[in-house]
Amino acid sequence: MATIYDVAKLAGVSPKTVSRVLNGDAPVNEKTRTKVARAISELGYVPSQAARMMRSSRSGLIGLITGAISATPHGTETRGLPDMLIVQAIQREMAERGKILMIADTGGSPSTVPMLAATFAQHRVEGLIYVADHHRAVDLDLSGANCPTLLTNCYDDRGTPCVLPDDAAGQQALVARLIAAGHRRIGFLTLDQAMPAGRLRLEGYKAALAEAGLPYDPVLVEAGYVIGREMQSAALTEALEHLLTLDQPPSVICCGNDEMAMRVYGLLRSRGLRVPEDISVAGYDDHRSIAEMLHPHLTTVELPYIDMGRHTAARLLDMIGGDVPASDDPLLVQGPVVWRSSVTALTEL
């Protein structure tokens, strides 16, 4: 295998001159540069990346920790892999910026995170990203990475910079569209209020009503999903039954996510109700395998996983470059309302 000394000998220059040509860290005249380039090509010389890293303060490496690889869905499970979509977007963005993304999987055990962070430090990564499987709080020790760190789809109490979906704004935008379409009695089957997404989406629902001058009526809000509760199907059936038997039932039902909306479709049909002719339905997440397979296609809000990945990569590189100060304020990324045929417009939009 050719060395830098072989290149220098064939080109008739010093090894230091070859190094200057390779690293571009000092001026070299064009004639000498051409001779070195010809010698490199003739010998098939490949510079040592490890040696170049030792000479440079930049390794070109970015570390990423996730559980997406080991968390493969089983059988016909309808849940997606949001963390994998985020990882793919980060990978594409980093490649475009000339960075190499090194990925480590937790194997489903958060206790491995400190060890993985320390391992990335040994490889001199310039920055470290942790990607969670859903919007939630985490308690992770990433200090061993000894570099700028960023959380995605999660947050902590340490004030670590993070990128999160703007669940409140997404739900507010959806309900505002429903109101613009003439709906005034808007039911809401929520996620568990112990979940950040559950709390924030309810806040967005209330904000849209307030903005339109409509009163918040708690009888129109039912928990469609509760963490740890057995017989979730029975709970959803009970919650839906409550909304449908109100003296003034809703004209549209917002569901905490698309999977819940899919179940609501079936429950409504079992009662002989048609979507959207008899009652409209909307979801949240824009899981295409659900939203576009249902009939009619489901109106919903996109969880912006790809955009979150792009913002994650851009923000971390800014932190590494010192272009912007690291902030403990979350960077919120809003997804668009995806209007499909599951909602009947009662007035012209």
Chain segment 1-37, per-residue pLDDT in tens: 678 888 889 999 998 888 888 776 667 888 888 898 8
Spatial contact of 21 and 37, defined as CB atoms under 8 Å apart: yes
Indicate the pLDDT class of residue 79, thresholds 50, 70 and 90. Answer: very low
- Coil, strand or helix: which one is 236? helix
Residue 324, amino acid:
V
Residue 158's Cβ-count burial label (10 Å; 0-12, 13-18, 19+) is middle
User: Distance between CA 30 and CA 1 in Å, rounded?
Assistant: 27
The separation between the first and the last C-alpha atoms of the chain, rounded to the nearest angstrom, is 70
pLDDT tens readout for residues 119-131: 999 889 999 999 9
CA distance 80 to 87: 13
Q: pLDDT band at 73, cuts 50/70/90?
A: low
- pLDDT value of position 233: 83
Percent of the chain predicted with pLDDT > 90:
67
Do β-strands 337-338 and 300-301 pair in parallel, antiparallel, or remain unpaired?
antiparallel
The continuous run of DSSP H or E covering 15 comes out as helix 15-23
Strands 337-338 and 186-190: unpaired
Residue 190 pLDDT > 80, yes or no? Answer: yes
Query: Whose CA is closest to 296, among 255, 341, 335, 258?
Result: 341
* Ranges of each domain in the chain: 4-43, 61-165+305-333, 167-303
> Do the Cβ atoms of 324 and 331 come closer than 8 Å?
no
Report the pLDDT averaged over residues 178-189.
Answer: 97
Residues 242-260: tens digit of each pLDDT: 999 999 999 999 999 999 9
189-216 b/e with 16+ CB inside 10 Å = b? bbbbeebbbbbbbbebbbbbbeeeebee
Q: How confident is the model at residue 143 (pLDDT cuts 50, 70, 90)?
A: confident
More confident site: 105 or 25: 105
Indicate the CATH number of 61-165+305-333 among 1.10.1530.10, 3.30.465.10, 3.40.50.2300, 3.20.20.80: 3.40.50.2300
The overall average pLDDT reported for the chain is 89
Is residue 276 within 8 Å of 342, Cβ to Cβ? Answer: yes
Q: How far is CA 244 from CA 214, 226, 232, 248, 262, in A?
A: 20, 20, 18, 8, 17
Predicted confidence (pLDDT) at residue 291 exceeds the cutoff of 80: yes
pLDDT of residue 54: 46
Say how far apart CA 234 and CA 231 lie, in whole Å.
Answer: 5
Between vectors from CA 63 to CA 197 and to CA 327, what angle results, nearest 5°? 55
3-state helix, strand, coil in the chain (%, to 5): 45, 15, 40
Of 74-78, 115-119, 170-174, the least confident:
74-78
pTM reported for the whole predicted model: 0.80
Rounded mean pLDDT, 181-208: 97
Lowest mean pLDDT among 39-48, 108-117, 298-307: 39-48
Q: Do domains 61-165+305-333 and 167-303 have the same CATH topology?
A: yes
Name, of 31-35, 68-72, 143-147, 186-190, the range with top average pLDDT: 186-190
CATH for the stretch 167-303: 3.40.50.2300
149-155 and 186-190 beta bridge pairing: unpaired
Mind listing the pLDDT tens digit for each residue in 50-66?
A: 455 544 556 899 999 99
In the chain, the amino acid numbered 335 is G
How does residue 77 score in pLDDT terms, banded at 50, 70 and 90? very low
pLDDT for 4 equals 85
Mean pLDDT within 267-279? 97
Stronger pLDDT, 202 or 231, i.e. the higher one: 202
CA 158 to chain centre: 20
